[in-house]
Amino acid sequence: MTGVDTTRGRRFGKRRVPTAVLLTCAALGVAGGILLAPANWVSTLLFAGLPFVSVALAGLWLLPSVIALRLLRRPFIGLLVGLLAGLVVVPFSGYGFSSVATNLWWAAFTELPFLFVLWRHWGTWLHYVGAVVVSVVYPILAWQSFDLGSVTVGLQIAFFALTLASCVGATALGVLIADRLRRAGVGARASR
């Protein structure tokens, strides 16, 4: 590939995205897909017998996008990594291409707090805002699937608390991983 300038990058919206950013997103998406493929099966199996326990894995779907946003600090990177992770999961999932929609849905919550500040602030607390919001929205949307109306209020509260713990814990892990990667030199050039 002589004559190709890989430092210039590709167009993404009105801005050019450096090739290093795209390659980092690809690596994070593939790693996320490798993590989520077995998590998807474990969650499905747990849902059949222990549905409340399956929600303990919910935060894993946030992890790839949190790492990408924390590491690269660029608009829409969380969604891009969520899309790539979903595509990696497709052949290993019993859900086919709906895995892509699922990953994009979770990734949207990691991106949303940064959208509200128009990607001008990258404070750690914004990652946790997304985790808390999805921790409330997911149980409400999954109310019927988990038949939460048939259990006691105490178990309903426990369900919300378990979802919150999973999402906040995965976000904390994602922040930690991204910070360690940055200290090791990964993404330093790409996030400029």
Count of domains forming the chain: 1
For residues 125-135, average pLDDT: 98
Give the list of residues 6+ apart from residue 82 with CB closer than 8 angstroms, or none.
Answer: 29, 32, 64, 65, 103, 104, 106, 107, 108, 110
Write down the pLDDT at residue 5. 45
Q: Is residue 5 part of a domain?
A: no
% of the chain surpassing 70 pLDDT:
90
Task: Specify which residues 38 forms β-bridges with.
Answer: none
Write down the pLDDT at residue 14. 58
Q: Is residue 150 part of a domain?
A: yes
Q: Is residue 156 part of a domain?
A: yes
Q: 137-179: per-residue pLDDT in tens?
A: 999 999 998 989 999 999 999 999 999 999 999 999 999 999 9
Q: Is residue 51 part of a domain?
A: yes
Q: Is residue 1 part of a domain?
A: no
Structural contact between residues 138 and 163, judged by C-beta atoms closer than 8 angstroms: yes
Structural contact between residues 35 and 64, judged by C-beta atoms closer than 8 angstroms: yes
User: Left (φ > 0), alpha (ψ -120 to 50) or beta: where does 73 sit?
Assistant: left
Write down the pLDDT at residue 51. 83
Q: Is residue 191 part of a domain?
A: no
Write down the pLDDT at residue 54. 87
For residues 77-87, average pLDDT: 97
Domain of residue 125 covers: 10-183
For residues 129-143, average pLDDT: 96
Write down the pLDDT at residue 181. 94
Strands (E), 19-158: none
* Residue 19 confidence (pLDDT) above 50: yes
Q: Is residue 109 part of a domain?
A: yes
pLDDT band at 186, cuts 50/70/90? confident
Q: Is residue 188 part of a domain?
A: no
Q: 33-74: per-residue pLDDT in tens?
A: 999 999 989 988 888 888 888 899 999 999 999 999 999 999
